Structure 1
Amino acid sequence: MYLWESHLDISHNPSEHDRYTDQARSNLVDMFSSPRKFVLEIGCSTGATGRYCKEKFPDAVYWGIEPNQDAAKIASTRVDHVLVGLSDDFVLSEQGVGLGQIDGVILADVIEHMYNPWKALASLKPYLASNAEIVTSIPNVRSIWLLNEIASGRFTYLDQGLLDITHIRFFTWKEIVDMMQQCGYQIDFLTYGVDERLWATYQNYKNILPSTVEYENVAVKQVKDENDLLELCSLQYYSRAILIP
């Protein structure tokens, strides 16, 4: 069976369900600057992250949105409420969410799967409290590993990672910042998820910048500082955004 045959129908697909991790994304929950009262996770998978969040913030109400029916069924036993479908399928006010009620949003490796993530982010704003925080994990298309794949004539879709066959949007860090600003948010915290394949590259160059950074068939000129190097060596970005005042 080809990859496209087994991985592109996510609504009720056992082979797709096998790809879902049951591990909490605790690093994203830990990015909230203070306890949250009402958290919405878009793409909540099996609810492991929600369970961790409710353990950390016992007074929090936690809702999830999840298109995979099998994963959503498990999540519904762990969090307060799960909407089964895509975020575009729901008007939150019709589901019982009040304006200004949500003070925490988690998008863990989900924005890249959306046809229109800009609309999804903008449509959340009326439901956000003034102190709301949005935490995201977004893959990094500027990865020097991926640049090398392209330079070597490959863009081979896989079942996970940067070339996950279900990805339909691709972002550099600059484009993530621009997307957030266009939707009414500003990023106030960033940390890098360095790719294990690129850890040696990062270590080799971090103390000799500015420099040309080489990786197999690719050389990137004028890498100016450590943040620039981290962009090239990261698998994904973890960031937190707040409403633009």
Structure 2
Amino acid sequence: MEDIAQVRAKRARIDAIVDARLRAGNFRHEVAGFVPRGAKNILDYGFGDGSLLLWLRREKHCTGLYGVEVDPGAIQAVDGLYDRTWLVDLNREDAHLGPEYEGFFSHILMPMSLEHTYDPWFVLKKMNRYLAPGGSIIVEVPNAQSWECAYRLLTGDFPYVSGGTWDFSHIRWYTLKSLADLGHVCGFRLTSYDLLFPGQVDLEAVRARESITSLELPPRELQSSCPRIRLEFPVDIKEVYPLLLAHVLIARLEKVREPEDHEPTARQGYLESYRVSFRNPAEGVSGLIPHPICPPLAEAVRGKAQDLLARGVS
């Protein structure tokens, strides 16, 4: 049992880590907001400096803190502050947390990590195994649907930089629709989301507009001085317009079933068959164009989709 001096020393370490992140101005308040007060058994996938879970312990009295990292320095920095940590790369087929942690966690936090993950479908199926029934994954990713991504692509710019949306280590890109689609393959349902904007945005003015059928890049709501590009849409995009203004997505993926397998993602129409069998609730205007299925795979995709529908995976 810890004595008073040990408890005080631990509190001081927690305060130092959390307060340093708060002073830096980049604490993940929005991710933390998805975790209820007093939650137990939370796993942070890629916990970095450890501040997110330690803030949840300090401010929301959460207990049972666990973390996965590939950086030995991060493991050492939170030694004695988490209930357990793993130095492991869960992208590997032979990497696991152990059977005693199956169905164990109430929440798994994945802030700014899925964009670094080569096979996110495989990793999320692993996470499904470790979540308790009804548990949730809280995902934070850069938003590939943002106006800036479209603007840069239209002007021929795909900048690899150190940090931020265009960090050179990002190997996957997501929209809200693709996050819901990813979750569906792995046994989750996207139940709620939040948006982060690069500055002040007057969303009330957006809501007051009767309809929106065009988009200016950059949007006038952001008051940018960049030359403008105007895009016309064949439908009203008012419902999805805020998604075009946001640069970061945060989504809750709730566990609703076990995945059909826990294997690395297969080829030959595996992902396409899920998309065809599932009407995505976040599809927006993307339903105007067909699924990008390679013609030689069309028959295999339809067969797999029919099998999924017969098993109630929709």
TM-score in terms of structure 1 length: 0.81
Question: Counterparts of 1:225 and 1:173 in 2: how far apart (Å)?
Answer: 15
Q: For 1:104-131, what per-residue CA distance to the aligned partner results, in whole angstroms no more than 9, with x for missing partners?
A: 1000010000011111101122221113
2:242 to 227, 230, 237: 230
Instruction: Provide the residue aligned with 2:308 in structure 1.
Output: none
**Residue 151 of structure 1 is aligned with which of 151, 154, 158?**
154
Distance 1:224 1:71, change over 3 A: farther
Query: Offset at 1:217?
Result: 4.4
TM-score by length of 2: 0.64
* Residue number among 85, 91, 107 corresponding to 2:96 in the alignment: 91
Correspondence 1:125-164 to 2 at 5 A: 125-164=128-167
**Match for 2:214: what amino acid?**
T
5+ residue gaps, structure 2: 1-19, 218-226, 258-314
Q: How many residues matched?
A: 221
Q: Given the alignment of the two structures, is residue 111 of structure 1 paired with residue 127 of structure 2, yes or no?
A: no
Mapped partners of 2:126, 2:241: distance in 1: 34
| Unaligned residue ranges in structure 1 (runs of 5+) | 1-20
Counterparts of 1:40-189 in structure 2 under 5 Å?
40-58=43-61, 60-89=63-92, 90-93=95-98, 97-189=100-192
Q: Which runs of 4+ in 1 moved over 4 A?
A: 202-206
Which sits farther off after the overlay, 116-125 or 84-93?
Answer: 84-93
How many Å separate the matches in 1 of 2:113 and 2:239? 24
Q: Which of 211, 214, 217 is matched with 2:213 structurally?
A: 211
Encode CA deviations 1:80-125: one digit per residue, 9 max, x unaligned.
Answer: 222123223531116xx43211111000010000011111101122
Aligned equivalents of 1:165, 1:59: Cα separation in 2: 34
Equivalents in 2 of 1:34, 1:187: separation in Å? 21
Deviations 1:15-43 (A, max 9, x none): xxxxxx94542321221246322111101
Equivalent of residue 221 in structure 1, options 223, 232, 243 = 232
Write the distance in 2 (CA, Å) between the matches of 1:87 and 1:70. 18
2:40 to 25, 37, 40: 37
Identity %: 19
Q: Which has the higher strand share?
A: 1
| Equivalent position amino acid for 1:44 in 2 | F
Which gives a bigger RCO, structure 1 or 2 (Cα 8 Å, sep 6+)? 1
Q: Contact between 1:151 and 1:217, CA under 8 Å: does it hold in 2?
A: no
Q: Quick check: which has more Rg, 1 or 2? A: 2
Question: Which segment drifts farther, 83-92 or 45-54?
Answer: 83-92
Contact 2:195–2:250 (8 Å) recurs in 1: yes
Shift of 1:135: 0.8
Tell which deviates more after alignment, 232-241 or 31-40.
31-40
Structure 2 CA distance for partners of 1:224 and 1:68, relative to 1, 3 Å? farther
Whole-Å separation in 2 of the counterparts to 1:204 and 1:131: 37
Give the secondary-structure state (helix, strand or coil) at the position aligned to 1:100: coil
How much is the aligned-residue C-alpha RMSD, in angstroms? 2.4
Deviations 1:37-68 (A, max 9, x none): 21111010010001012224535111111122
Shift of 1:150: 1.3
For residue 87 of structure 1, give the secondary structure of its aligned residue in structure 2.
coil
Code of the aligned partner of 1:220: L
